[in-house]
């Protein structure tokens, strides 16, 4: 196989991955999320997709793996293998700008960028002030967190006092 053909196969694979959506938030792709770390061709002529899980207990992990395999095989790029790679750990900072824009348009407040202080476990300060988020509907920052956990591991529940609407936040980790 020539280098030129190999390159276009990988490029095509990345394009296909743009269309593989998160089953729980079906507007962002696995590429937008930043969980696909690499796509390589292995010695046996197959594709290996390196994926980093979002949360340890995320039940969507297995579905996402299967969707990646199915989409690439359906596009004639198989055989395909997914390899889980835990380190370095996924962070919401890896989410693309287009992914953040899609989340906002979908009504989910995208994750803030993490400060240096969030990168390591700090000494705990009781009742740490939670930074106000902009409402994804009316953009008011007069918002409050209702619950630290939401419908999925990656989200928290907020409410906008200005427009009265509840909304979800994609937690920054």
Given candidates 3, 87, 115, 129, which one binds another protein under the rule CB under 8 A?
87
Q: How far is the CB of 68 from another protein (least distance, A)?
A: 19
In sequence order, which residues have a C-beta less than 8 Å from that of residue 119 and are 6 or more positions away? none
Question: Alpha helix locations (H) across the chain?
Answer: 3-17, 30-33, 61-74, 97-106
Residue 50 binds another protein, judged by CB under 8 A: no
Residue 2 touches another protein, criterion: CB under 8 A: no
Choice between 105 and 148, CB closer to another protein: 148
Dist. CA 108–CA 135, nearest whole Å: 9
Shortest CB 57 distance to another protein, Å? 3
Q: Cis ω on the peptide bond leading into residue 88 (within 30° of 0)?
A: yes
The tokens describing 115, both together, are: 């400060």
Contact 154, 171 (CB under 8 A): yes
Q: Identify which of residues 73 and 94 has a Cβ nearer to another protein in the complex.
A: 94
**158, containing H or E segment:** strand 155-160
Contact flags string 55-74 toward another protein, x per CB under 8 A: xxxxx---------------
**Does 166 sit near another protein (CB under 8 A)?**
no
CB 14, min distance to another protein, A: 24
When asked if residue 14 is in the footprint of another protein (CB under 8 A), the reply is: no
Q: Is 85 in the site for another protein (CB under 8 A)?
A: yes
**Using the rule CB under 8 A, is 89 a contact of another protein?**
yes
| SS3 at position 50 | strand
- Work out whether 127 is an interface residue with another protein (CB under 8 A): yes
Q: For the range 35-38, what are the long-range contacts, defined as Cβ-Cβ under 8 Å and sequence gap of 24 or more?
A: 35/64, 35/90, 35/94, 36/68, 37/85
Which stretches of the chain bind another protein, using CB under 8 A?
53, 55-59, 85-91, 120-121, 123-128, 146-151, 153, 157, 171, 173
């Amino acid at each position: 196989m020539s280098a030129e053909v190999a390159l276009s196969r990988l490029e095509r694979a990345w394009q296909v991955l743009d269309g593989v959506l998160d089953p729980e938030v079906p507007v962002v792709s696995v590429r937008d999320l930043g969980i696909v770390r690499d796509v390589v061709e292995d010695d046996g002529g197959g594709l290996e997709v390196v994926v980093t899980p979002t949360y340890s207990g995320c039940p969507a992990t297995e579905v996402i793996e299967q969707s990646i395999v199915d989409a690439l095989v359906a596009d004639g790029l198989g055989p395909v293998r997914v390899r889980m790679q835990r380190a370095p750990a996924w962070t919401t900072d890896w989410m693309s700008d287009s992914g953040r824009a899609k989340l906002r348009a979908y009504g989910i407040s995208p994750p803030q960028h993490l400060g240096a202080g969030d990168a390591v476990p700090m000494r705990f300060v009781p009742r740490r002030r939670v930074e106000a988020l902009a409402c994804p509907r009316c953009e008011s920052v007069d918002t409050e967190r209702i619950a630290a956990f939401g419908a999925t591991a990656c989200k928290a529940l907020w409410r906008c006092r200005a427009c009265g609407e509840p909304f979800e936040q994609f937690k920054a980790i």
